[in-house]
Amino acid sequence: MSANANHVDPNANAASELLNNDRLPWHRKITYGFTDMSGNLLYCIISSYMLYFFTNVFGIGVGTAGGLLLLGRFFDAIGAPVMGILVDHTHSKYGKSRPWFLWMSLPFAVFVWLLFTTPALSGTAKILYAGVMYILADLSYTAMSTPITSVLPNLTSNSDDRMAANSIRLVLGNVGNFFAVTFIIPFAGLLGHGNEQRGWSLAVGVYAIVAFILLIIAFFDMREKNIEEEKIITIRESLKATKGNWPWILIVLANLTYWTAFIVRNSALPYYFQYNLNDKGLISFFNGFSIIQVLGMASVPFFAKYLHKWGTTVFMLGLTMVGQIWMGFAGTNVTSALIGWCIACIGSGSACTMFFAMVGDTVDFGEWKTGIRANGFLTAIGASFCIQMGSGFGSFIASMIMKAFGFTAARAHQTAASLTGIHVSFIWVPVAIYAISLILMVVYRKWENHEPTVKADLAKRNAEKTQTAESAN
């Protein structure tokens, strides 16, 4: 046996030790989850009820409301990469991503509250107020949510801890979603005493205070690692990190189509239960059952162990489509529709978890491929951009379909054509768009198989840098 066969690379050992010792404390996984819990507590009110609020509470036409939602998301689509670049250019004693939770917690809470506060305006002034507040609320959400994803690679380099922290984040985010979509309508009714506009303003104001407190707690508990060693990268370098980064491109496209489908469904949901099933109370009832997706989110690490990340995502997207189709054939049978809804929620919630986990892996691939670690830019496009632009496309698609079929909120009872438009928006359009996302994730399989090589090479490079620095000193 040759001497080389017994030789152990000291850099490889150092790299392995670095990965094993870089663990994330349990309490920090929880407070990391507070960020998404805070964001969802307010953002899910926007994503689930904005179109409904504009048409049925604020009194804006469905076509105009859909146009406002798309326009607002266009600004957000521009804001997401800009925010990512800002994160990459941030240099403070708190790190690159962490300080943004402190800076944006108050603006985010205030702008969302103003969005659901309706002054006595009419005509153009009403539309202008709604549009401006919507854009400001969404931009502040982008500035707060972009660091949620970009901070994870800097909290730990341990892949298992990243997956665990991301799963906890999504579970707590779902708790925020549960309180947002389940209780906001009855809470607004309770506080408004018959005045819907006053009730929504007060209810969202209470939610905004809670969201602010959660973000501040998360900021104080977080710690970004190796921030002294990270250099500020240029815009050109940020763009270069996307060159040849095919796993990132696939995740962006798949996540964008996922959010488009998800928001088409959520935008049509209030109308479906109020008009198609003639029971407004079912809106909060069904949304309350969306908490069941926590079961899927909690099981994601188990599924990923056997199906890998791409296979888990494909399985969960397929499950979502099955649930949607089930509801489509359930008709007015509420019990059957609820079963389909639970299946769809478990699938969609779990798929969402996977996208957030995988976009962090594409940051590693970009660094491996180009030598540039553009956390902020890559995760801003892979997460915030997809959420914002997908939400814009989804709301717009739902509003245009409903408008084309003759929906108007002024009618207490909708025409048969209008009911068909709502049904198509809620059931079948999301199924078709989810299928596109599923196909993209099948293609992603090739790149996931390459991840062990990427992580091993990066760990070895970091160990070599550390050893070189120690030798120089």
What is the percent of the chain with per-residue pLDDT over 90, rounded to a whole number?
Answer: 47
How far is the C-alpha of 337 from the C-alpha of 327, rounded, in Å? Answer: 5
C-beta separation of 53 from 200 below 8 A: yes
More confident residue, 19 or 81: 81
Per-residue confidence (pLDDT) for residue 229, from 0 to 100: 54
Q: Which residues contact 177 (CB under 8 A, 6 or more apart)?
A: 40, 41, 44, 290
How far is the C-alpha of 6 from the C-alpha of 4, rounded, in Å? Answer: 5
Helices (H), 116-234: 123-150, 152-155, 159-192, 196-221
pLDDT band at 191 (very low <50, low <70, confident <90, very high): very high
Out of 8-22, 197-211, 240-254, least confident range: 8-22
Out of 9-18, 141-150, 291-300, least confident range: 9-18
What is the percent of the chain with per-residue pLDDT over 70, rounded to a whole number?
Answer: 91
Q: Which of 41-45, 429-433, 467-471 has the highest mean pLDDT?
A: 429-433
Residue type, 171: V
How far is the C-alpha of 417 from the C-alpha of 405, rounded, in Å? Answer: 5
Upper half-sphere CA count for residue 217 (Cβ side, 13 Å): 18
pLDDT digits (tens, 9 = 90+) for 95-135: 888 999 999 999 999 999 999 999 988 889 999 999 999 99
pTM recorded for the entire structure? 0.75
Distances in Å between the Cα of 152 and the Cα atoms of 21, 51, 125, 254 are 17, 32, 42, 21
Per-residue confidence (pLDDT) for residue 4, from 0 to 100: 47
pLDDT digits (tens, 9 = 90+) for 358-389: 887 787 877 777 777 777 778 778 877 888 88
Per-residue confidence (pLDDT) for residue 341, from 0 to 100: 96
Q: Would you list the DSSP string of 224-256? A: -SSTTTPPPPPHHHHHHTTTT-HHHHHHHHHHH
C-beta separation of 197 from 59 below 8 A: no
How far is the C-alpha of 257 from the C-alpha of 393, rounded, in Å? Answer: 9
How far is the C-alpha of 168 from the C-alpha of 155, rounded, in Å? Answer: 14
The residue-averaged pLDDT of 217-232 equals: 75
What is the three-state SS of 398-416?
A: HHHHHHHCCCCCCCCCCCH
- Dihedral sign computed on CA atoms, order 53, 56, 57, 61: positive
pLDDT band at 208 (very low <50, low <70, confident <90, very high): very high
Degrees (nearest 5) of the Cα angle 45, 335, 329?
90
Per-residue confidence (pLDDT) for residue 1, from 0 to 100: 43
Upper half-sphere CA count for residue 301 (Cβ side, 13 Å): 13
Which of 228, 258, 259, 235 is closest to 44 using CA atoms? 259
C-beta separation of 343 from 359 below 8 A: no
Q: Which of 9-23, 26-40, 71-85, 149-163 has the highest mean pLDDT?
A: 26-40
User: What is the chain's mean pLDDT, rounded?
Assistant: 86
Q: What is the DSSP letter of 277?
A: S
Out of 77-86, 93-102, 130-139, least confident range: 77-86
Degrees (nearest 5) of the Cα angle 42, 48, 49?
90
Q: Would you list the DSSP string of 32-89? A: HHHHHHHHHHHHHHHHHHHHHHHHHTS---HHHHHHHHHHHHHHHHHHHHHHHHHHHT
Per-residue confidence (pLDDT) for residue 231, from 0 to 100: 61
**302: which 2 tokens?**
């188990």
Ramachandran assignment for 9, one of left (phi > 0), alpha (psi -120 to 50 degrees), beta (any other): beta
Out of 2-11, 52-61, 444-453, 456-465, least confident range: 2-11
How far is the C-alpha of 445 from the C-alpha of 94, rounded, in Å? Answer: 36
C-beta separation of 248 from 121 below 8 A: no
Residue 404 has pLDDT above 90, yes or no: yes
pLDDT digits (tens, 9 = 90+) for 160-186: 787 788 778 878 988 998 999 899 999
More confident residue, 166 or 45: 45
Per-residue confidence (pLDDT) for residue 470, from 0 to 100: 63
How far is the C-alpha of 142 from the C-alpha of 74, rounded, in Å? Answer: 12
Per-residue confidence (pLDDT) for residue 466, from 0 to 100: 65
pLDDT digits (tens, 9 = 90+) for 327-361: 999 999 999 999 999 999 999 988 988 887 788 77
The residue-averaged pLDDT of 312-324 equals: 96
Per-residue confidence (pLDDT) for residue 471, from 0 to 100: 67
**121: which 2 tokens?**
């305006």
- Dihedral sign computed on CA atoms, order 375, 380, 386, 387: positive
**Displacement of CA 417 from its chain's centroid (Å):** 33
SS3 content of the chain, % helix, strand, coil (to 5): 85, 0, 15
